[in-house]
Amino acid sequence: MGINENARLVLEKRYLEKDDKGNLKENAEGMFLRVATAIAESDKAYDKNADVDSLRDRFYNTMANLEFLPNSPTLMNAGRPLGQLSACFVLPVEDTMEDIFEAIKQAALIHKSGGGTGFSFSRLRPKGSTVNSTGGVASGPISFMKVFNTATEAVKQGGTRRGANMGILQIDHPDILEFIDCKKDGKEITNFNISVALTEAFMQAVENNTEYELIEPKSGICTGKLNAREVFDKIVMSAWRNGEPGIIFIDRLNRDNVVPSQGRIESTNPCGEQPLLPYESCNLGSINLVKMLRQNKGGNYEIDYDKLGGTVDTAVHFLDNVIDANRYPIDIIDKTTKSTRKIGLGIMGWADMLLRLNIPYSSEQAVELADKVMGFITEQGRAKSAELAKARGTFPLFSVSTLKKKTPMRNATITTIAPTGTLSIIAGVSSGIEPVFAYVYVRNVMDGTEMIEVNPILKEVLIERGIYSEALMRRISEEGTLAHIEEIPEDIRRTFVSAHDVAPEWHIKTQAAFQRHTDNAVSKTVNFSKDATTEDVSEVYLLAYRLGCKGVTIYRDGSRESQVLNIGKVNTGRDGSGADASLKETADKCAPKDDGAPGRILPRTRPEITNGITERVKIGCGNLYITVNYDEKGICEVFTNTGRHGGCPSQSEATSRLVSIALRSGVDIDTIVEQLKGIRCPSTIRQPGLKVTSCPDAIARTIQKVAHYQNGNAANKPEPVAESADADDDFFTSPSKIRYCPECGTKVEHEGGCVVCRQCGYSKCG
């Protein structure tokens, strides 16, 4: 198998079956065989004499050769007791208290099973409206989003996938301005991606700089008017500030709604690529385009369309079988999903394929190829679905009179381009249709040494040119791009561009080319440099509208720079600029202050910038991440975050807050350590092999290590894990604030409307 070591580690951590003690029960090959066996069995429902063994082998080989991979829940759960195989669901939110809390209950069941959920809150009456049944006043959609968010936080998806939501509000809802700003401070609604549903009428009003109407959802009555351009600019400003909200063009989703008789599409899955009717779910999978290449007689690479076509056929058959093999968390989802049998076949490795073909990502040649490749995949997929329809029957809602598709089809939709964060790690290729985020990674390994990992295609080219060296790779890693490294030939720099080398308009041109041949939608993040302006964001949104995209997600590098930066290196900021100068400027403000009250000392003010180290410690109920920050006057702050497996977050936070106050009040570090060290917790001491006795004991030991390190004992330096935010911020769950993985400390990548860690497979969106 072609799985690299990093992919194997990700599989072992997140995908492979384990026993009750956490010991592995299967390897990668075993996982693929388990999945192939379970999915092939669905053929028996249509043909008792089906050659299931042959089909199992075909499914297995396609996955084991990394030519096609289904979405994560299928890899995790197929052939296992849970059996929930879908990645995404959409639930309706009606305007009654009973329906709202029914949706919360249903979402909890879905999150528990490993799925993500999308909601439109556009049906809820606006804030301040009269509630006839009680005579009270409605609290509005944003208040209920907070309730959904809290419920999501409480449900941990079996320790493998965190709950993720999409929250959508239509542009003409009276509470739209509050919605645009609902994630402004990054502390609330942290388990949601949010998007504004823009209508064609609104976009026309934007271009004409005219007003548009706000509509009360229940009565349909106009309650006021706003200037469209001003509201559009507010959306742009918010996205520029922290990446949210995204936008979806809701009328385009419904233009392509193949079963309009069943209702209107109001929402998508968490990353925006899969529009769904209420109670629909989707099964996604992606073809690895790098595996669809062959070398011609001249040694150059070219696309093997015969192999691509065969892989599409296998993938469509596989995904249709998933619909039957699936164990749905709610009966109505089972019924609704099987009534349309939507599947979403996409791709990964697009950028790596371009590298092999020596085609720059930012080129008309690449855009034209995107058009050709996706056109081929969709047409081939539709042909396979039509073939399955002849053997198995069309999806139940198929009817020429109600459908826009006239050819009898097994599946209402065929193609979707999803983010492939962890799947692309397993396959060892670039994610989805995104450009390569970084060509060189420097990873920390267990003994504290560093290991350089280089994009294999770049490494191969540089070795062929005779210019590969570790020093050059470190420079590429530090700069994040090849663009300004003159010793690398210009033709290589022109082709090997990273995400931030790609001008925003090329991101959109690429997305639009794929969207032209995609039944559902395309997940894509437009990366902006830190110094991009709101005008740059506005131009991209308008270009996406004019080129026919169905939605846009942007991320400006360094968004939310006002947050506290805690860094592994003690003498520089994240970008290499000196943090010491800033510390020196604030040092005079940091001493403890006497407020004049007898015997009472106020803690010194927390410095605006600190240096720090985060250590991951194994405790009895999972992992505890302990961050110890310091400035010129010494350790000044401690805070903690529990891993996804649980723990006692409130008690750990209380301990860290009190320790922080004590430190800034001048209490001796040894005294603090003495009080905490040795405290015992039953969940920890009953497990052999752990190095601490409780969370407070772990906190004390990390403080002690950092104190020793500050005193010149470098051997006691804890391994840097994460760049962390202030203790009051929900750093580990807010996409706009995640920069470094909360589980392994590697810098994360913003792609496909989400974030992903290329080292350990952590993803905010599951």
Per residue in 562-586, pLDDT tens?
322 222 332 333 333 333 333 233 3
Low-confidence winner among 152-161, 247-256, 500-509 (lowest mean pLDDT) = 152-161
Tell me the pLDDT band of 447, cut-offs 50, 70 and 90.
very low
How many angstroms separate the Cα of 124 from the Cα of each of 26, 174, 179, 181, 345?
A: 47, 10, 13, 18, 33
Tell me the pLDDT band of 105, cut-offs 50, 70 and 90.
very high
% residues pLDDT > 90 (the chain):
62
Greater confidence (759 vs 669) lies with 669
Q: Tell me the residue type at 736.
A: S
Residue among 271, 549, 590, 681 flagged as catalytic: 271
What is the per-residue pLDDT for 313?
98
Instruction: Report DSSP letters for 604-661, one per residue.
Output: PPPPSS-EEEEEEEEETTEEEEEEEEEETTEEEEEEEEE-TT---HHHHHHHHHHHHH
Whether the predicted pLDDT of 477 surpasses 80 = yes
What is the per-residue pLDDT for 462?
97
Q: What is the fold, at CATH topology level, of the domain defined by 88-262?
A: Anaerobic Ribonucleotide-triphosphate Reductase Large Chain (3.20.70)
pLDDT digits (tens, 9 = 90+) for 24-58: 999 999 999 999 999 999 999 999 999 999 999 99
Distance (Å, whole) CA 606 – CA 609: 9
- Residue 348 in 3-state DSSP? strand
Span 688-698, average pLDDT: 82
What is the per-residue pLDDT for 760?
76
Distance (Å, whole) CA 4 – CA 427: 8
Which one, of 337, 430, 405, 387, lies nearest residue 110 by Cα? 337
Residue among 269, 326, 520, 611 flagged as catalytic: 269
Cis before residue 245, ω within 30 degrees of 0?
Answer: yes
- For the chain, the 3-state helix, strand and coil shares in percent, each to the nearest 5, are 40, 20, 40
Whether the predicted pLDDT of 713 surpasses 60 = no
- Residue 763 in 3-state DSSP? strand
pLDDT digits (tens, 9 = 90+) for 13-29: 889 999 988 899 999 99
Tell me the pLDDT band of 405, cut-offs 50, 70 and 90.
low
Whether the predicted pLDDT of 159 surpasses 50 = no
Active site residue 271: yes
Start-end of H helices in 261-411: 305-325, 331-340, 350-357, 364-392
Q: Tell me the residue type at 641.
A: N
Tell me the pLDDT band of 404, cut-offs 50, 70 and 90.
low
Span 640-669, average pLDDT: 79
Pairing of strands 246-249, 192-198: parallel
pLDDT digits (tens, 9 = 90+) for 174-213: 999 999 999 988 788 989 999 999 999 999 999 999 999 9
Whether the predicted pLDDT of 368 surpasses 80 = yes
What is the per-residue pLDDT for 766?
56
How many angstroms separate the Cα of 612 from the Cα of each of 319, 395, 452, 731?
A: 47, 57, 24, 15
- Which of 265-274, 623-632, 749-758 has the highest mean predicted lDDT (pLDDT)? 265-274
Whether the predicted pLDDT of 370 surpasses 50 = yes
pLDDT digits (tens, 9 = 90+) for 268-290: 999 999 999 999 999 999 999 99
Start-end of H helices in 86-137: 97-113
Low-confidence winner among 115-119, 330-334, 346-350, 748-752 (lowest mean pLDDT) = 748-752
Greater confidence (238 vs 746) lies with 238
Residue among 67, 266, 273, 743 flagged as catalytic: 273
Greater confidence (560 vs 415) lies with 415
What is the per-residue pLDDT for 685?
59
Tell me the pLDDT band of 559, cut-offs 50, 70 and 90.
confident
Low-confidence winner among 393-397, 400-404, 594-598 (lowest mean pLDDT) = 594-598
- In the chain, where are the structural domains located? 5-82+280-427, 88-262, 438-494, 580-728
Pairing of strands 343-348, 281-288: parallel
Whether the predicted pLDDT of 501 surpasses 90 = yes
pLDDT digits (tens, 9 = 90+) for 285-308: 999 999 999 999 999 999 999 999
Tell me the pLDDT band of 680, cut-offs 50, 70 and 90.
confident
Tell me the pLDDT band of 678, cut-offs 50, 70 and 90.
confident
Whether the predicted pLDDT of 711 surpasses 80 = no
Span 721-746, average pLDDT: 46
Tell me the pLDDT band of 332, cut-offs 50, 70 and 90.
very high
Q: Which residues of 104-130 are buried (b: 16+ CB within 10 A; e: fewer)?
A: bebbbbbbbbbbbbbbbbbbbbbeebe
pLDDT digits (tens, 9 = 90+) for 232-242: 999 999 999 99
Q: What token pair was written down for 377?
A: 């995949």
Q: Which residues contact 155 (CB under 8 A, 6 or more apart)?
A: 108, 111, 112, 163
How many angstroms separate the Cα of 1 from the Cα of each of 4, 241, 314, 618, 647?
A: 9, 44, 19, 32, 37
What is the per-residue pLDDT for 448?
53
Active site residue 632: no
Contact 322, 40 (CB under 8 A): no
Whether the predicted pLDDT of 310 surpasses 80 = yes
Element (H, E) at 89: strand 88-91
What is the per-residue pLDDT for 727?
29
What is the per-residue pLDDT for 568?
32
Span 626-642, average pLDDT: 87
pLDDT digits (tens, 9 = 90+) for 716-725: 455 444 333 3
Tell me the pLDDT band of 552, cut-offs 50, 70 and 90.
very high
Whether the predicted pLDDT of 637 surpasses 60 = yes
- Residue 227 has φ and ψ, to the nearest 5°, of -75, 120
Which one, of 231, 159, 158, 222, lies nearest residue 198 by Cα? 231
Low-confidence winner among 178-187, 653-662, 747-756 (lowest mean pLDDT) = 747-756
How many angstroms separate the Cα of 152 from the Cα of each of 164, 332, 362?
A: 8, 21, 39
Span 612-638, average pLDDT: 86
Distance (Å, whole) CA 753 – CA 764: 10
Whether the predicted pLDDT of 715 surpasses 60 = no
Distance (Å, whole) CA 615 – CA 699: 10
Element (H, E) at 594: strand 593-594
Average pLDDT of the chain is 86
